[in-house]
């Protein structure tokens, strides 16, 4: 069968390193035929890897989409605030679209994208990669099997490791709401999507609390300098020391085994976010002048570092989500309690473990491998998207299903700020009214 042909929009961390490699690893499934990316080094990397001629390399998505449809599908991996325009252009030109989460930065725009895809009769798959992991698929199947009876309550935690919090949400691209999205959307639309999928009912009420408590100027220890390499008095004991993270590579022992920290690192996240050149000298220079060398207490961040969401679903069942950026390790924990038993899950970059504990039958413990990007989800979503385009199987979530997780996240942020309970049927109705009024 002919491979499905893709254009790639945005060849940064996700475009170049999460999705484009699928075409290299599975050439009978997927082929990248064009790229739009303003950064010449990133553009050239994709051109080399996928053997693209100059007339298939563009500095921006406007130039690419001006050609009309030249492939079956578009993979759109620009930054959060730059999702809507290229997605509408792609859908209008006739492309199926794999769009990175979050769909958009407002509930109205997210809804409009879903409507546009439905109107165009194109697949619009949102980068909710966790649905495509073996771990979450197995968990979903176990819950669907009814082994723990009717669900009564769910608790889900997203434990963001302290250095990742600092990298993305204090020093990095998602540190400010006005430049990206609220953290509960940026980090937890995945978690809300998994919860909605597993619970299988509509959320009726929601409330949320959360704050930026720790990563603030008033918490800077005495002697802290604006940059970690500027002679900071507490550098050697600070968990967020940029030297510890990006030069000594302490948190990455699993990735860098046998490698000299003073050498050139693989072209991969998070090192390649500092600079294209991942040599020690280039990383050190980036820390002296760029955003990732800043003291975590002296950045211009405003997104929360912890947030909880409480939800009630149809039929009265309840669920909670806790997210925080203080964790020792990055992982997700979850507990589903039903009338006939309990399921406990733990999922991290090292794999996962699911304990199925029925009240009246044998317990089962399943260890799930999943060290690949996002527990295998990056590859899985590409495989699922290809199958959906070929008409072999529907994607694991339609854009409309993905929208629900986004609406819960937007409503959580509203509730956090207003200190109120959001009635979700009213919220959805007001959104429908606002979208149809502005048509």
Question: What is the DSSP code (8-state) at residue 55?
Answer: G
Q: Min. distance of Cβ 70 from ligand NAD in angstroms?
A: 15
Instruction: Out of 45, 96, 101, 112, name the contact with ligand NAD by CB under 6 A.
Output: 101
Stretch that binds ligand NAD, among 75-83, 238-246, 283-291, 427-435 (CB under 6 A): 75-83
Query: Which of these, 361, 381, 356, 335, lies nearest to 131 by C-alpha position?
Result: 381
Examine residue 42 and tell whether it contacts ligand NAD (CB under 6 A): yes
Q: Min. distance of Cβ 186 from ligand NAD in angstroms?
A: 6
| DSSP per residue, 373-436 | GGGGHHHHHHHHHHHHHTTSS--SS-HHHHHHHHHHHHHHHHHHHHT--EEHHHHHHHHHHHHH
Q: Min. distance of Cβ 7 from ligand NAD in angstroms?
A: 10
176-205 footprint of ligand NAD as x/- string (CB under 6 A): ----------x-------------------
Rounded to whole angstroms, the Cα distance separating 332 from 157 reads 6
Helices 107-120 and 84-93: crossing angle in degrees, nearest 10, is: 10
Q: Min. distance of Cβ 94 from ligand NAD in angstroms?
A: 19
Q: Which is nearer to ligand NAD, 37 or 72 (CB)?
A: 37
Examine residue 256 and tell whether it contacts ligand NAD (CB under 6 A): no
Instruction: Out of 56, 72, 125, 127, name the contact with ligand NAD by CB under 6 A.
Output: 127
Stretch that binds ligand NAD, among 76-84, 105-113, 324-332, 416-424 (CB under 6 A): 76-84
Instruction: Out of 73, 129, 228, 411, name the contact with ligand NAD by CB under 6 A.
Output: 129
Q: Min. distance of Cβ 285 from ligand NAD in angstroms?
A: 19
Map the footprint of ligand NAD across residues 416-435, applying CB under 6 A: none
| DSSP per residue, 222-244 | TT--SBTTTT-TTTTT-TT-HII
Q: Which is nearer to ligand NAD, 125 or 343 (CB)?
A: 125
Q: Which is nearer to ligand NAD, 45 or 112 (CB)?
A: 45
Examine residue 106 and tell whether it contacts ligand NAD (CB under 6 A): no
Q: Which is nearer to ligand NAD, 14 or 416 (CB)?
A: 14
Q: Which is nearer to ligand NAD, 100 or 284 (CB)?
A: 100
# residues contacting ligand NAD (CB under 6 A): 25
**Distance, CA of 250 to chain centre:** 24
Rounded to whole angstroms, the Cα distance separating 119 from 352 reads 39
Stretch that binds ligand NAD, among 13-21, 297-305, 361-369, 403-411 (CB under 6 A): 13-21
Instruction: Out of 3, 5, 13, 256, name the contact with ligand NAD by CB under 6 A.
Output: 13
Q: Min. distance of Cβ 273 from ligand NAD in angstroms?
A: 7
Q: Min. distance of Cβ 365 from ligand NAD in angstroms?
A: 27
Q: Min. distance of Cβ 174 from ligand NAD in angstroms?
A: 7
- Structure-token pair, residue 387: 């199958």
Map the footprint of ligand NAD across residues 291-350, applying CB under 6 A: none
Examine residue 267 and tell whether it contacts ligand NAD (CB under 6 A): no
Query: Which of these, 192, 155, 251, 230, lies nearest to 397 by C-alpha position?
Result: 192
Examine residue 11 and tell whether it contacts ligand NAD (CB under 6 A): yes
Q: Which is nearer to ligand NAD, 126 or 148 (CB)?
A: 126
Binding site residues, ligand NAD, CB under 6 A: 9-15, 36-39, 42, 60-61, 77-80, 82, 100-101, 127, 129, 186, 374
């Amino acid at each position: 069968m002919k491979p499905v042909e893709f254009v790639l929009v945005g060849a940064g961390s996700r475009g170049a390193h999460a999705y484009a490699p699928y075409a290299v690893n599975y050439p009978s499934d997927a082929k990248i035929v064009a790229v739009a990316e303003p950064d010449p080094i990133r553009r050239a990397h994709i051109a080399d890897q996928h053997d693209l001629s100059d007339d298939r390399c563009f500095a921006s998505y406007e130039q690419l989409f001006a050609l009309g449809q030249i492939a079956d599908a578009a993979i759109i991996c620009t930054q959060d605030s730059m999702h809507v325009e290229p997605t509408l252009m792609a859908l209008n030109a006739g492309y199926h679209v794999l769009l990175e989460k979050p769909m958009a930065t407002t509930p109205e725009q997210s809804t409009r994208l879903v409507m546009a895809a439905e109107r165009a009769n194109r697949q619009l798959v949102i980068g909710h990669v966790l649905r495509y992991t073996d771990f979450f698929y197995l968990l979903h199947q176990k819950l669907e099997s009814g082994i723990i009876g009717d669900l009564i309550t769910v608790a889900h935690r997203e434990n963001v490791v302290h250095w990742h919090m600092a990298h993305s949400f204090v020093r990095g691209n998602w540190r400010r709401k006005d430049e990206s999205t609220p953290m509960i959307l940026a980090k937890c639309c995945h978690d809300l999507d998994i919860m909605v999928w597993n619970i299988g009912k509509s959320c009726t009420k929601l409330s949320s609390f959360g704050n930026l408590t720790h990563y603030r100027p008033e918490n800077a220890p005495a002697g802290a300098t604006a940059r970690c390499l500027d002679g900071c008095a507490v550098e050697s004991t600070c968990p967020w020391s940029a030297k510890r993270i990006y030069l000594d590579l302490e948190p990455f022992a699993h990735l860098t085994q046998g490698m000299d920290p003073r050498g050139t690192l693989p072209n991969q996240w998070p090192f390649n976010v500092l600079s294209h050149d991942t040599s020690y000298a280039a990383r050190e220079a980036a820390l002296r002048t760029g955003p990732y060398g800043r003291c975590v207490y002296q950045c211009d961040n405003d997104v929360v570092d912890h947030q909880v969401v409480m939800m009630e679903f149809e039929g009265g069942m309840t669920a909670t989500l806790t997210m925080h950026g203080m964790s020792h390790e990055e992982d997700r924990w979850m507990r589903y309690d039903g009338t006939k038993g309990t399921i406990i899950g733990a999922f991290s970059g090292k794999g996962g473990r699911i304990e199925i504990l029925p009240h009246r039958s044998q317990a089962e413990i399943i260890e799930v491998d999943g060290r690949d990007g996002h527990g295998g989800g990056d590859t899985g979503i590409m495989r699922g998207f290809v199958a959906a385009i070929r008409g072999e199987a529907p994607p694991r979530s339609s854009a409309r299903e993905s929208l629900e997780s986004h609406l819960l996240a937007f409503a959580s942020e509203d509730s956090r700020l207003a200190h109120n309970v959001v009635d979700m049927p009213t919220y959805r109705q007001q959104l429908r009214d606002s979208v149809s009024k502005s048509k």
